[in-house]
Structure 1
Amino acid sequence: MAADVPAALELLAAGELTVLGQLTEASNAALYCTVELAGVSAACVYKPVRGERPLWDFPDGTLAGREVAAYEVSAATGWALIPPTVLREGPFGPGMAQIWVEPDPQAAPLLALQSPRGPEPGWLPVVEAELEQGRRALLVHADDERLRRLAVLDAVLNNADRKGGHLLPAADGRIYGIDHGVTFNTEGKLRTLLWGWAREPLTEEARRVLDRLAEQLAGPLGERLAPHLTEAELTALSDRVAGLRRTGTHPVPSEEWPAIPWPPV
């Protein structure tokens, strides 16, 4: 269903939500649901605004809107990296509803621990980790073009929480990113496990996407984001896109903010 975007958006926006359970590992209220419309149904996650925990660096009650804004930016890239997402009324009030993506158990791993002597072919280093009994290992991620696109999107979104568990390889061959409530801060807060391309030149594809985003932010995309973000956050978003276009490289970890999310998975 995630790949059929128009049908998924209509189903999410107008379908009947039925709560089946709660995702207990989520830091905010995240409810596993079905959504049904005209005999068509799908699984989805519903995050009501009233279930959001207050954060010191984000205004209260804004996380659901940030998830929708992240989806809108993802859709504008043409990469379809975030499952279809809408803001709607639900059983517990307004909240975010997003098509559920079931990870493919047969998919190749995206993260691994390898010898600290260096990454194996096809992998890129993230950070050296200390394990039990003083052993050390190198945390690596796959040198995968799908992940590289997501790294660019995260830099645009200023994603403060790209954990390994937020990367979902789907049976259709796509990799989806989820959980984008802590995005679009005006201060640099990029925290991710996808640092393997730091300082490397952006691909030509990424440059074209950033050019298109810059144009759309000044027009229809900016209008769609305005209900969910402040004027300062929209300005900061445009500035990040402009900065990536100017440097032409993937960003590097900040020295003023933890670069790796915790827990990493």
Structure 2
Amino acid sequence: MEALLAKGELSVVGRIREASNAVLLCTVTHEGVSAEAVYKPVKGERPLWDFPDGNLARREVAAYLVSEATGWGLVPATVLRDGPYGEGMVQQWIEAADEDDPDSGLPRLLALVDGEEAGEGWKPVAFADVGEGRTALLVHADDPRLRRLSVLDAVINNGDRKGGHLLPAPDGRLYGIDHGVSFHTEDKLRTLLWGWAGEPLTDEARGVLTELTGRLAEGAPLATRLAELITAVELAAVRERVARLLRTGIHPQPSGQWPSIPWPPV
């Protein structure tokens, strides 16, 4: 898929209007093979005061590379290339399954429940205002796919893990998208996946993080590629976050110095 995205001819089909930056739905074709893709040109990005270096497109590609290094495959294939409107990131389009469809066979990932108990199979996140003076408890599924994604978000310091950035695929895989506001050197983790905060990391996660430490070492192929996409201090911060996760052995908790849940949350 990476080769198709990198070498294929991009044809713009239309614009995804809900996005705050320019997001274009495209077809990409190479040697008789076609697929749908998302193209986000750098020229269509709105400047962010707290991310003065680099651009969203390069951070999106960096998130994909880190995801691939974990072996979890949580981010759709993503490349950096020229397109009809200049350099940008091109990402495999994922047609999300409808988790609310009873025939989909997929567990729901997010829900609002009355009362103060999450219930079996759910992890509490926070209370949400649902209007008319009422609140409901926001919960997410106690799902290993989400738990892996929460670890990836902690590594890349994802500042925008909304519900709408979770894409359950018909084959049962779960993807996360929109990682442009990641890799900051300061703690900016904002996510709906706080359900495991303070709990011990799984053995699987500790093993993945240990392996990732070697892949991030100076001169390693992953570190070399990331150095082309994010700054040296941002890369150093990635190494420190991985080391901290291994040192503490627990999922991170909200710092209290930054809003812990993105807005809007979906």
The runs of at least 4 aligned residues of structure 1 exceeding 4 Å deviation read none
How far off its partner does 1:129 sit? 1.1
Match of residue 246 from structure 1:
247
Match of residue 222 from structure 1:
223
Match of residue 124 from structure 2:
125
- Aligned with 1:18 (options 1, 11, 14): 11
Once residues 103 and 169 of structure 1 are traced to their aligned partners in structure 2, the CA distance between those partners, rounded to angstroms, is 5
1:124, 1:141 within 8 Å by CA — same for their partners in 2? yes
How many residues get paired?
Answer: 258
| Structure 2 residue 129 is matched with structure 1 residue 136 | no
1:49, 1:61 within 8 Å by CA — same for their partners in 2? no
1:15, 1:35 within 8 Å by CA — same for their partners in 2? yes
Match of residue 232 from structure 1:
233
TM-score of the superposed pair, with normalisation by structure 1: 0.96
Q: What amino acid does structure 2 have at the position aligned with 1:236?
A: A
Query: 1:166-210 CA distances to partner (integer Å, 9 max, x unpaired)?
Result: 000001110000000000000000000000000000000000000
Once residues 96 and 130 of structure 1 are traced to their aligned partners in structure 2, the CA distance between those partners, rounded to angstroms, is 36
Match of residue 76 from structure 2:
83
Q: What amino acid does structure 2 have at the position aligned with 1:113?
A: L
Aligned positions of 1:38-49 closer than 5 A? 38-49=31-42
Match of residue 208 from structure 2:
209
1:168, 1:175 within 8 Å by CA — same for their partners in 2? yes
Percent of aligned positions that are identical: 66
TM-score of the superposed pair, with normalisation by structure 2: 0.96
Gaps of 5+ in 1: 1-7
2:53, 2:231 within 8 Å by CA — same for their partners in 1? no
Q: What amino acid does structure 2 have at the position aligned with 1:211?
A: T
Once residues 72 and 232 of structure 1 are traced to their aligned partners in structure 2, the CA distance between those partners, rounded to angstroms, is 18
How far off its partner does 1:232 sit? 0.4
Once residues 156 and 177 of structure 1 are traced to their aligned partners in structure 2, the CA distance between those partners, rounded to angstroms, is 14
2:118, 2:139 within 8 Å by CA — same for their partners in 1? yes
1:52, 1:61 within 8 Å by CA — same for their partners in 2? no
Please provide the CA RMSD for this pair.
Answer: 0.8
Aligned positions of 1:1-265 closer than 5 A? 8-59=1-52, 62-105=55-98, 106=104, 107-218=106-217, 219-265=220-266
Q: What amino acid does structure 1 have at the position aligned with 2:154?
A: A
**Stretch moving more, 116-125 or 10-19:** 116-125
Once residues 143 and 112 of structure 2 are traced to their aligned partners in structure 1, the CA distance between those partners, rounded to angstroms, is 16
Q: What amino acid does structure 2 have at the position aligned with 1:122?
A: G
Once residues 117 and 143 of structure 1 are traced to their aligned partners in structure 2, the CA distance between those partners, rounded to angstroms, is 17
Q: What amino acid does structure 1 have at the position aligned with 2:79?
A: V
How far off its partner does 1:59 sit? 2.1
**Stretch moving more, 209-218 or 98-107:** 98-107
**Stretch moving more, 104-113 or 162-171:** 104-113
